[in-house]
């Protein structure tokens, strides 16, 4: 599946059985990386009460895998930079 074959939101949701991340439950957006992986950008509150952002990566060819490319970030800028860089490991 790629952008022509479905929505990134569906790819991420299906991979996680419709469950949100308990640390970053507020989804800001979904999108596609240049390599065909779907991503979710979300936000929430960290253990110490500080805001955090999550970038979740799902490869539609192997949705059961949990790639090391997903990342918890301490600023929106950090999360956006990770996405723009193609979410490297």
Per-residue pLDDT of the chain (89 residues; tens, 9 = 90+): 445 446 999 999 999 999 988 999 999 999 999 999 999 999 999 999 999 999 999 999 998 888 789 999 999 999 999 999 999 98
Residue 3 within any structural domain of the chain: no
Residue 50 in tokens: 């500080």
Q: Whole-model pTM?
A: 0.88
| Number of domains composing the chain | 1
In a domain, residue 48? The reply is yes
Domain that holds residue 25: 8-84
> Does residue 70 contact residue 50 with C-beta atoms inside 8 Å?
no
In a domain, 89, yes or no: no
Is residue 72 in a domain?
Answer: yes
Q: Residue 71: helix, strand or coil by DSSP?
A: strand
With respect to residue 13, please indicate whether it lies within any of the assigned structural domains.
yes
Residue 54, helix vs strand vs coil? strand
């Amino acid at each position: 599946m790629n952008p022509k074959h479905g929505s990134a939101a569906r790819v991420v949701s299906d991979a996680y059985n419709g469950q949100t991340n308990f640390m970053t439950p507020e989804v800001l957006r979904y999108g596609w990386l240049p390599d065909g992986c779907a991503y979710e950008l979300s936000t929430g509150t960290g253990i110490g009460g500080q805001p955090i952002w999550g970038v979740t990566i799902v490869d539609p060819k192997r949705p059961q895998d949990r790639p090391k490319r997903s990342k918890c970030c301490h600023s929106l800028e950090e999360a956006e930079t990770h996405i723009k860089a193609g979410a490297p490991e």
